[in-house]
């Protein structure tokens, strides 16, 4: 276990039991983001860094009974809370590091990642690993149920130009890791960047 992995598990392990109670009003923002993501019935989608699986009900509704929903998270307590909330009825939960997924190349249609990217130790390489498991033409959603400025204010910090999720940084980061950013929205009540895995890189 690396230092980064231990840090993630300690940080989120301590917060897992109360995670859903802390942000009770986020459900509609998740549902809207998943609807905009444009999944189709039968699609295979990974919720990367799924936590308690807050996106999984909307993801299952989008892909329907013939689709596949996987939730992957590094923190066991998050997956325990996901099971307690019944999210394992929506899809399979995997205890794994998304930096090294136990999935074959190009096996998925899409990856949805809420609140994940800021916690990745090597975002370029880690986003490339997400691209590896998605078919050409498949899609990525980077979502947060609060915008960058509101999140910075919540944490009492300044939003600086080097913020990884700023549009001028995120576009090149995605391009350098096997994705093409197709849309970007950063409002007070949500952040949603969508990207596609190009068919002809
Ligand atoms: C801010 S929480 C978001 C949880 C959930 N997506 C949500 O929006 O409620 C970030 C989650 O990412 C997980 N995580 C962070 N780094 C990870 C990694 N390398 N592999 C898998 N999960 C990771 C954490 O354990 C945590 O559950």
Residue 170 lies in a domain: yes
Residue 201 lies in a domain: no
Written as six digits, the tokens of 14 are: 């301590």
At 108-124, the pLDDT tens digits run 999 999 999 999 999 99
* Residue 93, ligand 1, Cβ within 6 A: no
Residue nearest to atom 20 of ligand 1 (CA): 97
- pLDDT truncated to tens, each residue of the chain (201 aa)? 899 999 999 999 999 999 999 988 899 999 999 999 999 999 999 999 999 999 999 999 999 999 999 999 999 999 999 999 999 999 999 999 999 999 999 999 999 999 999 999 999 999 999 999 999 999 999 999 999 999 999 989 999 999 999 999 999 999 999 999 999 999 999 999 999 999 876
Q: What is the CA radius of gyration of the chain?
A: 16
Closest CA to 89 of 109, 65, 113: 65
At 43-67, the pLDDT tens digits run 999 999 999 999 999 999 999 999 9
Q: What's the length of the chain? A: 201
Please report, for the domain that includes residue 40, its CATH number. Answer: 3.40.50.150
User: Cβ distance 91 to 61 under 8 Å?
Assistant: no
Distance CA 66, CA 69 (A): 10
Q: List the domain range (segments joined by +) for residue 95.
A: 3-196
**Ligand 1 atom closest to the CA of 16, numbered from 1:** 27
* Residue 97, ligand 1, Cβ within 6 A: yes
User: Cβ distance 148 to 163 under 8 Å?
Assistant: yes
Vertex 145, ends 27 and 110: CA angle to 5°?
85
Whether pTM exceeds 0.85: yes
Q: Calculate how far, in angstroms, residue 73's C-alpha sits from the geometric centre of ligand 1.
A: 6
Residue 37 lies in a domain: yes
Distance CA 200, CA 191 (A): 28
* Total structural domains within the chain: 1
Residue 70 lies in a domain: yes
């Amino acid at each position: 276990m690396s230092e980064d992995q231990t840090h993630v598990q300690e940080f989120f392990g301590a917060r897992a039991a109360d995670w859903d109670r802390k942000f009770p009003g986020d459900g509609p923002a998740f549902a809207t983001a998943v609807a905009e993501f444009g999944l189709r019935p039968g699609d295979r989608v990974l919720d990367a860094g799924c936590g308690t699986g807050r996106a999984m009900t909307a993801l299952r509704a989008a892909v329907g009974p013939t689709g596949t929903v996987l939730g992957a998270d590094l923190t066991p307590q998050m997956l325990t809370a996901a099971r307690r909330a019944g999210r394992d009825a929506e899809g399979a939960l995997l205890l794994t590091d998304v930096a090294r997924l136990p999935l074959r190349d190009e096996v998925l249609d899409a990856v949805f990642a809420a609140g994940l990217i800021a916690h990745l130790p090597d975002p370029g390489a880690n986003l490339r690993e997400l691209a590896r498991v998605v078919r050409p033409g498949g899609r990525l959603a980077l979502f947060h149920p609060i915008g960058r400025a509101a999140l910075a204010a919540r944490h009492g910090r300044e939003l600086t130009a080097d913020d990884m999720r700023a549009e001028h940084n995120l576009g090149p980061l995605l391009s350098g890791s096997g994705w093409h950013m197709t849309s970007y929205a950063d409002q007070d009540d949500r952040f949603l960047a969508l990207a596609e895995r190009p068919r002809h890189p």
